[in-house]
Chains A and B, each alone.
Chain A
Amino acid sequence: MNFVWQILKEQFSNLNLIFRLSMFQEKSRYNMHYLGAFWQILNPVIQIGIYWFIFGFGIRGGSSVGETPFFLWFICGIVPWFFISPTITQGSNSVYSKINLVSKMKFPVSVLPTIKIVENSFSFIAMMIITVMILVLNGYFSGIYLLQLPYFLLCLYILLYSLTLLLSTLTTIIRDIQTMVQSIMRMMMYALPILWNVESLPAFFVNLLQLNPLYYIIDGFRNSLLGGEWFFYDLDYTLYFWFITLLILFIGSRYHLKFRHKFVDYI
C-alpha cells in the first residue's frame, strides 16, 4: 500500500506546480487559433448538436426518456463524457509526450497525468455550470440530489487519476496500448448510458455493462443532476466501484514507481 501513499504524497506536495503548469498549458493550447478559448465551448456544442440530431431527433423521434426530455437526459451524460474521454486518451499519452522535456531535469513524473486532468477540468467546470443552468431554466432542478455531485466528482477524479497513471506508464513502454486506448474510448461511448437508455436491456446485460466503472460515474452524474436516487442505495455497486478503482490505482502506482526511472531508456 505504501506505493499508493508515495504517489499521492507527490501529488499533494506539488499542488502549486500542477496548477501553474496546467494553467499555462491551457492558455497555450488555443494560442494559434483566432477564436481562442471560444473553441472549448464551440467544439462540444457542435458535437452535442450532431448527436442530439441523430439520436434524439432521428432515431428516437423526439420521444423522452421516462419523464425527462431526451435532450436534458442526454446532456447530463455527454458533458462528463466530453471531459472523461479526452482526459483518458491525452492523460495516457502525457508521460510519453513530455518525457523529452522532463528528462533533462528533476521533475516528479507522476504529476504529468494530473496536469492533464486539471488542464481539461477548466472547460469541464464551465460546461457543468452551463448544464445546470439549462436544467434549471427548463424546470428540472434536482434540488437536494445535487448534494451528491461533489461525491461523484471525487469518484471521477480518483478514477481518472488511477486510470491515467496506469495507462501513461504502460503506453510509454508499449506504444500499442495508446492506439488501443484510443479505439476503446471511441467504442466505449456506446457501451455507456450516454446516447441511449441502456436500462431498457435485460437486467443481466445492464449488470454486465455496469462492470465498467465509468458507468457508475455517468449514472451518478445523471442521478445528481436530474435527481432520482442516492448513491448509497446501490451499495453493491458503490462497493464494486471503489474496489476496482483502488485496484487500478494500486497496480498503477506500483508500475509507475517501478518503471519511471527507465522511461528515458524506453523511448
Chain B
Amino acid sequence: MRPKIVFSNVSKSFNLYKKQSDKLLEIISFKDNKENFYALNNLSFEIFEGEAIGIVGLNGSGKSTLSNLLAQIIPATSGSIDINGETSLIAISAGLNNQLTGLENIELKCLMHGLKKQEVQRLMADIIEFADIGKFINQPVKNYSSGMKSRLGFAISIHTNPDILIVDEALSVGDQTFYEKCLNKMNEFKSQGKTIIFISHSHSQIKEFCDRVMWIHFGRLEKFDKSDEVLQDYNKFINWFNSLTEIEKKNYRKQMLEDQYKGENVSNHSIRRPTPRKPPVKKQGDILFTFQCVLLVLAVLVSASFMFGANPVLGIEKYFL
C-alpha cells in the first residue's frame, strides 16, 4: 500500500508576542528573535490508504494544530509533510457564515470548494437530506443550535468528495442518531479506500471506528499503534493523572509546558538541519527584492520629477522663494 500521508520530523511553533508592537517589528525587520511555543515537536509517521486513524490527547496537547497541518491550512515550521489527495477538515466551528441561511451557506461553501453551479444544485438535495434540520435550512445560521451547526458542517464537508477526511471533535455535539448516520457515511468512505482521521475525546467512538490510534502528549507523539494498545496506555495515564493531587497536577503540567517553550528534546538534526541551509537562500531573495524595489522607487521619483518640469528643484523654488 502506498502511504497517503507522510510526516517526517514535523514541528510547528507559534510566535508569542509580548506586545502588539512586536508584530510590527516582524513585518519590518527580517529577524526572528521572539519567544516560541512548540505546539508540535518532531512528529514522524505514515498513514495509508483506507485507514481510519484516531487521535487522542489532553486539551492543548496539539491535536487541533495537527489537524490543521493535515488539512494544509497552516504550514509546518520545520520538517516535511507529504500529502497525496484533497483534504477536508470538519471542525465544530465549521467555517459557516452566521449571517447567511443554511441554504446560502451550502451554496457558498460549495462554490468556495470550486464546484460549478450545476454540481452545487445536484449536491444541494443530498446535503439537505443528510443534515436533516428541517425548516431551519432557510433560517440564518446564527439561530442554529450547536448540534445543527455541526450537522450542517459535516454534511457539507462530506459531500465535497475529499480523499482525506479530518473530523476534529465535530461529532461530539451531535446526538446518537446523527452519530450513527455519520459513522455509516465514514464507513462507506473507508471502504472506498479513503483515509479518515478522527479526533475525539470519546474512547468508545474511537475504539469502534479506528484501526490505529495516535496519542499526542504535549506536542509529542507519545504512541502510535493498534487502537487497543494505545487506548489502554492512555487510560492508564488518565487514571494516574487523576489520582494526583491538585498541586502535583499543576506541577506536572507546568513542567511539560516548559519543555514546549524551550522546544527541548528536539533531536538535533530535525530543527537545526534546515537552518544553515535556509538563510542564504532567503537573503539572496531579500537582496533581489530590495534591489528591484529601489529600482522601482527610483523610476517613480524620476517620472514624478518629469511631471514637475525637467528642472524639478527650480520648479519648487518658484513657489517658496
Binding site for B on A (CB under 8 A): 1, 14, 16-17, 20-21, 24, 28, 100-107, 173-174, 202, 204, 207, 210-211, 236-237, 239-240, 243-244, 246-247, 250-251, 254-255, 259, 261, 264-266
Contact = CB atoms under 8 A, between A and B. Distances in A.
Contact of B89 (A104, A237, A251): A104
A100 B289 CA distance: 31
Contacts of A259: 27
Given A106-B72, A247-B297, 18 more contacts: A24-B104, A24-B111, A28-B100, A100-B93, A101-B108, A103-B95, A104-B73, A104-B89, A104-B94, A105-B73, A105-B88, A105-B112, A106-B71, A237-B307, A247-B299, A247-B300, A254-B289, A265-B74
Contacts of A247: 293, 296-297, 299-300
**4 shortest interchain CB distances as A-B pairs:** A104-B95, A240-B303, A236-B306, A247-B296
Contacts of A237: 307
Nearest to B303: A240
Contact of A265 (B14, B304, B307): B14
Given A204-B315, A247-B300, A106 B100 contact: no
A13 to B, nearest CB: 10
A17 B303 contact: no
Given A243-B296, A250-B296, A106 B307 contact: no
A17 B112 CA distance: 7
Contacts of B86: 106
Interface in B55-88: 71-75, 86-88
A243 B111 contact: no
Given A20-B117, A105-B95, A243-B303, A250 B293 contact: yes
B23 interface: yes
B29 to A, nearest CB: 13
Overall SS of chain A's interface:
helix
B15 interface: yes
Given A174-B24, A240-B304, A247-B297, A101 B74 contact: no
Interface of B: 14-15, 23-24, 27, 71-75, 86-89, 91, 93-97, 100, 104, 107-108, 111-114, 116-117, 289, 292-293, 296-297, 299-300, 303-304, 306-308, 315-316, 318-319
Given A20-B111, A104-B73, A240-B300, A251 B293 contact: yes
B319 A202 contact: yes
A24 B106 CA distance: 12
A20 B118 CA distance: 12
B112 A101 contact: yes
Given A28-B100, A105-B88, A207 B95 contact: no
B308 A261 contact: no
Nearest to A234: B307
A107 B114 CA distance: 9
B235 to A, nearest CB: 31
Contacts of A16: 114, 116
B307 A101 contact: no
Nearest to B96: A101
Interface centre among B15, B74, B88 (most CB of A within 10 A): B74
A266 B20 CA distance: 10
B263 to A, nearest CB: 17
A226 to B, nearest CB: 23
Given A20-B111, A250-B293, A104 B91 contact: yes
Given A24-B111, A247-B296, A265 B316 contact: no
